[in-house]
Amino acid sequence: MGSSSSVQLAMLGLDSSGKTTVLYYMKFEQYTNVTRTISYNCETIKVKEGRAKGMTFKIWDVGGQDNKRPLWNQYTRSSDGIIFVVDSEDKERLEEAKLELIRLLKNADNQKLPLLVIANKQDLPHSLPLCEIETALGLRDLHPGQMWSIRGACAVTGEGLTEAMDAMYDLIVKKKTMKKRK
């Protein structure tokens, strides 16, 4: 992928998982106090570090309240990848997050998109480790063709976000290479 490439990503997940905070940390490289997302936010982010350096990510951050979730497919339709954000401390809602992820990935078109799970809020004292979130979301049981990665992050300090976008970049490159071989 050329360093001037542009990719479009849909950032989804339950409300309050930290999607908008992640988006604005990536945009402004600092914590931004955000308000509740009513419909969506969209930002174009030029990556300054990591393997995706020089690339442009256009990220759609879509409201995660339950009445907004049916709209998710409208955003994934034109995307090159899906970022699914979860709150690593909210154990009660991990099951709900799993069900929404399964529902999203029932759509055959979405199975073709690389999936990056961001286990956000890793700074919180009772946050679950990545391996437990991986299990709780059933990532290993996804459709066999589904490409996925999981990374931990904290959208308040920005920790882990570069590595997360590196992982997304790697999946997109892998996908492109596989397509070319076919």
What phi and psi, each to the nearest 5 degrees, are found at residue 136?
A: -60, -35
Instruction: Tell me how many residues contact ligand G3D (CB under 6 A).
Output: 18
Exactly one of 9, 10, 12, 17 binds ligand G3D (CB under 6 A); that residue is: 17
Query: Does 130 contact ligand G3D by CB under 6 A?
Result: no
Between β-strands 6-12 and 81-87, what pairing exists: parallel, antiparallel or unpaired? Answer: parallel
Burial code (b: 16+ CB inside 10 Å, e: under 16) for 144-158 equals eebbbbbbbbbbbeb
Query: Which residue in 17, 20, 79, 110 binds Mg ion (CB under 5 A)?
Result: 20
- Residues with catalytic function: 65
Show the site string, 146-175: x = touches ligand G3D by CB under 6 A, - = not: --------xxx-------------------
**Cα gap 156→134, rounded to integer Å:** 22
Taking the least distance from each CB to Mg ion, the nearer of 11 and 139 is: 11
Which residue pairs, CB below 8 angstroms and at least 24 apart, start in 24-27?
25/155, 25/156, 25/158, 25/161, 26/57, 26/59, 26/161, 26/165
**Judged by CB under 6 A, which of 34, 102, 130, 136 binds ligand G3D?**
34
- Min. distance of Cβ 25 from Mg ion in angstroms? 13
Q: 4 vs 35, which CB is nearer to ligand G3D? A: 35
* Residue type at position 77: R
Please give the residue ranges that form the binding site for Mg ion (CB under 5 A).
19-20, 37
